[in-house]
């Protein structure tokens, strides 16, 4: 069996790198070169790295995933896409990592709001200038091998700029569609919400049948007193690998909420990191559902850097069959971050004896006047609750389904955008036995 | 309606019910009283099908069928209802959802079609008014964050909507304030009918002032040590249980 290591990836990507490098402005060319140097020295993350201990990335070594090529948007059935693309949002669609003007719906964006292809933005001096102090600023490519890989080789992505005081009337949705197989789809997203702006954004990852790898790195800058909610709906193909990273910088008084629905992929990992400035607040929610042999990893990191920050985190996992879920949540409170108020929770529901949940909350507190708590549970359905439902005429299987659904639905119910809520609800119900669950009654 | 014969039940190696005999005819109300730990809830649970108990001897026949052989949900669909001493909180499942699921399961069991959405709401809202509850309770998760008294009232709401044949009320009166006790009792009384029977477990005569039983039984140490009419409850109120236990010990 052919085994691909990082150096084989570097060889296979040499031409791509040369082309991308040539198209890049000087500072970006330098960043790509530095990222490649980093990737050359470290390669993809290894299991010996504590942060990657639970993530088996051997699938990357079994297949050499070549760079995804720009494919005609025709490969995507617009009708099918409507299952995911919201009618009441502005949407920008990437097909196999490349901007598709045909599928995107961006009419009527308020003046000054920019939602565009990242490649196009980098090709124009005015917008490229705005990106110089953003790209690779919320995350550095020494973060991990995937960030380095992405920084060296990303071809396109999304650039969103919301000017100061702008309050968006509709959400902005970024739809990533994968149509190819045996390829790596490398995208980079940069979202900047200037001071006092308010926006809701959605990143949706959806794929056809293919066995591909999606490496999606997003950087989010939430300006002073701005309010950003970002939903991530990951429903990749069941053969796909997904390595996603969302790296956030919150300015003073900024509010950031992230709702992470990790439902698809054979192996899916999501990292969400946020840095909080003085009196900024973040809320991280997550729901991961694993069936069959899915492996779903969630890693979060909340850095309280300054005083009076508030963070709330709740991740819930439901694992059936031989699925495995991992939650690694780290909260770091810097010496300077007095009066931090932080609460982290992770709850896991195991539906089969072969399912597994690994949960690892980590608190690192260097300040002395803080309120920090965490709680984790791994358990099965409560027998008392099952009997109570049975005594109310519900058969055991339906009772189990109702309780499972109710457990997961707590996270779905937090989604206040009706159309998005319905898409997510549909996706959750698709993955779990529905017998006895009547959507109309909810 | 229900015929319990020489019923012996254990948890693990521990015998809890030690030969219960009880005959309940349609339309009758039986009160069961007795000291803490005597086995009243165990009897309620065994009749509604909770697992974890072993029947070592005896039988329970409900409407001519072997009750102990039926899964809990079939008993419920056949008309057995237990109002729990400690109702369970079910986060994420709304009251109205559970009521609809329950009602439709019963209808399906009897070969009827699903209840019409409008009829359902009319029915449910009527019962909510009967029990003087706030309609908001319908849309809250089952018992989640309900006060003790609200939980008990919610049990009776479910009972009123599902219209069971055999209603087992395990200490429904405990935790109810005086006004609530009156409202709940009126709710129960409104359900009285010639073909519906009640088993009411209680510690207090007060409840029996509102809902007059036909029979009162005293359960002690897993056995019915005395049965009588409503006057027995008054006697118990006055004398407690010790005279019965003494009599039992000397017997
Ligand atoms: N699962 C169990 N394991 C061990 N003992 C049990 C179990 N369930 C019941 N018991 C015991 O059986 C006895 C009867 O309990 P039960 O709950 O039926 O009493 P009760 O008459 O309802 O009391 P109360 O008036 O306090 O509600 C008690 O001694 C109790 O501890
Ligand atoms: Mg009891």
Q: How far apart are CA A408 and CA A433, in angstroms?
A: 13
Contact A190, A157 (CB under 8 A): yes
Lowest mean pLDDT among A71-75, A114-118, A212-216, A219-223: A71-75
Q: Are both A232 and A296 inside the same structural domain?
A: yes
Contact A162, A113 (CB under 8 A): yes
Say what the pLDDT of residue A62 is: 85
Q: What average pLDDT does range A327-353 have in this prediction?
A: 97
Residues having C-beta closer than 5 Å to ion ligand 2: B 40-41, 85
| Residue A71 burial class via C-beta count within 10 angstroms: exposed 0-12, middle 13-18, buried 19 and up | middle
Any CB–CB contact under 8 A between B194 and chain A?
Answer: no
Nearest to A164 by CA among A189, A199, A136: A199
Contact B58, B4 (CB under 8 A): yes
Q: How far apart are CA A262 and CA A289, in angstroms?
A: 7
Q: Name residues 400-419 of chain A within 8 A of B (Cβ).
A: 402-403, 405-407, 409-410
Check whether A1 has a pLDDT greater than 50.
no
In a domain, A22, yes or no: no
Share of chain B above pLDDT 70, in %: 97
Q: How many residues does chain A have?
A: 442
Check whether A419 has a pLDDT greater than 60.
yes
**B175: confidence class by pLDDT, cuts 50, 70, 90:** confident
Check whether B148 has a pLDDT greater than 80.
yes
Check whether A159 has a pLDDT greater than 50.
yes
Whether ligand 1 lies within 6 angstroms of the CB of B11 is answered as yes
Task: Give φ, ψ of B169 to 5 degrees.
Answer: -110, 110
**A6: confidence class by pLDDT, cuts 50, 70, 90:** confident
Q: Are both A202 and A117 inside the same structural domain?
A: yes
pLDDT digits (tens, 9 = 90+) for B62-108: 999 999 999 999 999 999 999 999 999 999 899 999 999 999 999 99
Q: How far is CA B120 from CA A392, B96, B97, B99, B101, in A?
A: 16, 10, 11, 9, 11
Q: How far apart are CA B16 and CA B222, in angstroms?
A: 5
Each residue of A381-405: b (16+ CB within 10 Å) or e? beeebbbbbbbbbbbeebbbbbbbb
Say what the pLDDT of residue A102 is: 93
Check whether B120 has a pLDDT greater than 70.
yes
Contact B171, B194 (CB under 8 A): no
Pairs of residues, one from chain A and one from chain B, whose beta carbons lie less than 8 Å apart: 81
Any CB–CB contact under 8 A between B162 and chain A?
Answer: yes
Which residues constitute the domain of residue A108? 67-383
B101 secondary structure, DSSP code: H
Domain boundary among A345, A364, A383: A383
Say what the pLDDT of residue A440 is: 65
Nearest to B32 by CA among B216, B159, B249, B193: B216
Nearest to A283 by CA among A261, A257, A254, A303: A257
Q: How far is A20 from chain B (nearest CA, A)?
A: 50
- A141: tokens are 């490519």
Say what the pLDDT of residue A5 is: 81
**A3: confidence class by pLDDT, cuts 50, 70, 90:** very low
Helices and strands (H, E) in chain B, number of each type: 10, 12
Q: Are both A339 and A275 inside the same structural domain?
A: yes
B161 contact partners, CB below 8 Å, separation of at least 6:
B99, B102, B103, B123, B124, B127
Say what the pLDDT of residue B240 is: 83
- A37: tokens are 């140097």
Q: What average pLDDT does range A283-297 have in this prediction?
A: 96
In a domain, A221, yes or no: yes
Lowest mean pLDDT among A204-208, A251-255, A431-435, B26-30: A431-435
Whether ligand 1 lies within 6 angstroms of the CB of B100 is answered as no
In a domain, A55, yes or no: no
Check whether A283 has a pLDDT greater than 60.
yes
Contact A338, A306 (CB under 8 A): no
Share of chain A above pLDDT 90, in %: 88
Give A347's strand partners: A316, A377
Whole-number average pLDDT of chain A: 94
Query: Domains, chain B, ranges and CATH?
Result: 2-250 (3.40.50.300)
In a domain, A156, yes or no: yes
A358 contact partners, CB below 8 Å, separation of at least 6:
A54, A324, A325, A326, A327
Starting from the CA of residue B85, give the closest ligand: 2
In a domain, A111, yes or no: yes
Contact yes or no for B76 and A438 at CB 8 A? no
Check whether A73 has a pLDDT greater than 70.
no
Contact yes or no for A394 and B50 at CB 8 A? no
Whether ligand 1 lies within 6 angstroms of the CB of B42 is answered as yes
Q: Are both A354 and A402 inside the same structural domain?
A: no
Q: How far apart are CA B222 and CA B227, in angstroms?
A: 14
Q: CA torsion angle for A375, A377, A381, A385 (degrees, to 10)?
A: -30
Interface test with A, best of B53, B73, B99, B143 (most A CBs within 10 A): B73
Q: Are both A144 and A104 inside the same structural domain?
A: yes
Helix (H) or strand (E) holding B159: helix B148-162
In a domain, A401, yes or no: yes
CA A421 to chain centre: 17
Q: Is the dihedral of CA B76, B82, B86, B87 positive or negative?
A: positive
Q: How far apart are the first and last CA of chain A?
A: 50
Domain boundary among A363, A383, A403: A383
Domain boundary among A334, A354, A383: A383
Each residue of A158-167: b (16+ CB within 10 Å) or e? bbbbbbeebe
Check whether B33 has a pLDDT greater than 60.
yes
Any CB–CB contact under 8 A between B92 and chain A?
Answer: yes
- Helix, strand, coil % in chain A, rounded to nearest 5: 25, 40, 35
A107 contact partners, CB below 8 Å, separation of at least 6:
none
Say what the pLDDT of residue A63 is: 87
**B237: confidence class by pLDDT, cuts 50, 70, 90:** confident
Q: Are both A373 and A417 inside the same structural domain?
A: no
Share of chain A above pLDDT 70, in %: 97
Q: ipTM value of the model?
A: 0.95
Give A250's strand partners: A222, A276
Q: Are both A182 and A149 inside the same structural domain?
A: yes
Across the interface, which of B72, B84, B90 has its CB nearest the CB of A406?
B90
Q: Are both A106 and A214 inside the same structural domain?
A: yes
Task: Give φ, ψ of A46 to 5 degrees.
Answer: -115, 160
A108 secondary structure, DSSP code: T
Check whether A55 has a pLDDT greater than 80.
yes
Contact yes or no for B101 and A403 at CB 8 A? no
Q: Are both A245 and A328 inside the same structural domain?
A: yes
Q: What average pLDDT does range A204-221 have in this prediction?
A: 96
Q: What average pLDDT does range B8-21 have in this prediction?
A: 95
Q: What average pLDDT does range A419-428 have in this prediction?
A: 96
The structural domain count of chain A equals 2
Specify which of A294-308, B141-155, B217-231 reaches the highest per-range mean pLDDT. A294-308
Q: Is A306 helix (H, G, I), strand (E, B) or coil?
A: coil
Contact yes or no for B91 and A406 at CB 8 A? yes
A42 secondary structure, DSSP code: H
Q: Are both A247 and A147 inside the same structural domain?
A: yes
Share of chain B above pLDDT 90, in %: 78
In a domain, A21, yes or no: no
Q: How far apart are CA A324 and CA A410, in angstroms?
A: 21
Q: Whose CA is nearest to atom 17 of ligand 1?
A: B41
Task: Give φ, ψ of A440 to 5 degrees.
Answer: -65, -25
Q: Give strand ranges (E) for A149-280.
A: 156-162, 172-178, 183-193, 198-207, 213-222, 227-235, 241-250, 255-262, 267-276
In a domain, A187, yes or no: yes
Q: Are both A281 and A420 inside the same structural domain?
A: no
Give B248's strand partners: none
Q: Name residues 170-189 of chain A within 8 A of B (Cβ).
A: none
B222 contact partners, CB below 8 Å, separation of at least 6:
B15, B16, B17, B18, B19, B20, B38, B39
Q: Is A98 helix (H, G, I), strand (E, B) or coil?
A: strand
Say what the pLDDT of residue A76 is: 86
Q: Are both A391 and A304 inside the same structural domain?
A: no
Check whether B161 has a pLDDT greater than 60.
yes
Check whether A2 has a pLDDT greater than 60.
no
């Amino acid at each position: 069996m052919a085994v691909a290591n990082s150096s084989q990836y570097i060889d296979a990507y040499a031409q791509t790198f040369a082309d991308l490098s040539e198209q890049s402005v000087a500072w970006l060319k330098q960043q790509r070169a530095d990222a490649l140097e980093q990737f050359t020295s470290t390669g993809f993350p290894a299991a010996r790295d504590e942060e990657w201990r639970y993530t088996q990335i051997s699938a990357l070594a079994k297949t050499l995933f070549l760079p995804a090529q720009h494919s005609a948007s025709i490969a995507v059935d617009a009708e099918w896409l409507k299952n995911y693309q919201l009618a009441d949002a502005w949407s920008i669609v990437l097909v196999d990592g490349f901007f598709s003007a045909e599928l995107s719906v961006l009419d009527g964006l308020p003046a000054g709001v920019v939602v565009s292809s990242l490649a196009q933005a980098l090709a124009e001096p005015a917008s490229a200038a705005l990106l110089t102090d953003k790209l690779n600023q919320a995350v550095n490519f020494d973060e991990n091998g995937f960030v380095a890989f992405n920084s060296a080789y990303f071809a396109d992505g999304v650039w969103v700029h919301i000017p100061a005081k702008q309050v968006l009337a509709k959400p902005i949705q970024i739809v990533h569609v994968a149509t190819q197989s045996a390829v790596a789809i490398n995208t980079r997203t940069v979202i900047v919400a200037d001071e006092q702006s308010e926006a809701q954004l959605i990143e949706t990852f959806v794929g056809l049948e293919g066995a591909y790898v999606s490496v999606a790195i997003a950087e989010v800058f939430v300006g002073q007193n701005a309010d950003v909610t970002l939903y991530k709906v990951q429903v990749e193909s069941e053969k796909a690998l997904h390595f996603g990273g969302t790296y956030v910088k919150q300015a003073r008084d900024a509010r950031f909420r992230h709702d992470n629905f990790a439902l698809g992929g054979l192996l899916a990992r999501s990292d969400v990191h946020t840095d909080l400035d003085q009196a900024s607040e973040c809320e991280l929610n997550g729901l991961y559902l694993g069936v069959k042999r899915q492996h779903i990893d969630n890693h979060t990191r909340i850095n309280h850097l300054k005083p009076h920050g508030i963070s709330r985190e709740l991740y819930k996992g439901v694992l059936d069959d031989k699925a495995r879920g991992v939650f690694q949540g780290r909260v770091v409170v810097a010496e300077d971050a007095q009066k931090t108020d932080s609460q982290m929770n992770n709850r896991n529901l195991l539906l089969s004896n072969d399912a597994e949940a690994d949960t690892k909350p980590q608190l690192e507190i260097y300040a002395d006047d803080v309120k920090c708590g965490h709680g984790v549970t791994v358990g099965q359905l409560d027998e008392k609750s099952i009997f109570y439902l049975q005594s109310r005429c519900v058969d055991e299987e339906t009772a189990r389904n109702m309780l499972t659904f109710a457990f997961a639905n707590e996270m779905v119910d937090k989604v206040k955008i009706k159309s998005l809520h319905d898409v997510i609800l549909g996706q959750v119900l698709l993955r779990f036995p529905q017998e006895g669950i009547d959507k109309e009654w909810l | 309606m229900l015929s319990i014969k020489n019923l012996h039940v254990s948890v693990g190696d521990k015998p809890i019910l030690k030969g219960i005999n009880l005959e309940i005819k349609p339309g009758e109300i039986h009160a069961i009283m007795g000291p803490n730990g005597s086995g009243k809830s165990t009897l309620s649970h065994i009749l509604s099908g909770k697992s974890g108990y072993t029947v070592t001897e005896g039988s329970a026949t409900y409407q001519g069928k072997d009750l102990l052989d039926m899964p809990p949900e079939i008993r419920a669909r056949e008309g057995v209802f237990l109002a729990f001493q400690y109702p369970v909180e079910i986060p994420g499942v709304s009251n109205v959802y559970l009521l609809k699921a329950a009602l439709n399961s019963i209808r399906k069991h009897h070969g009827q079609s699903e209840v019409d959405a409008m009829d359902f709401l009319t029915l449910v809202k009527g019962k909510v008014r009967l029990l003087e509850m706030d309609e908001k309770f319908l849309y809250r998760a089952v018992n989640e964050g309900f006060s003790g008294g609200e939980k008990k009232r919610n049990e009776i709401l479910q009972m009123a909507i599902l219209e069971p044949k055999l209603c087992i009320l395990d200490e429904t009166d405990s935790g109810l304030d005086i006004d609530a006790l009156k409202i709940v009792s009126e709710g129960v009384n409104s359900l009285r009918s010639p073909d519906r029977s009640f088993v009411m477990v209680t510690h207090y005569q007060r409840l029996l002032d509102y809902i007059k039983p036909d029979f009162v039984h005293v359960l002690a140490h897993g056995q019915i040590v005395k049965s009588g009419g409503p006057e027995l409850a008054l006697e118990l109120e006055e004398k407690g249980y010790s005279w019965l236990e003494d009599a039992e010990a000397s017997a």
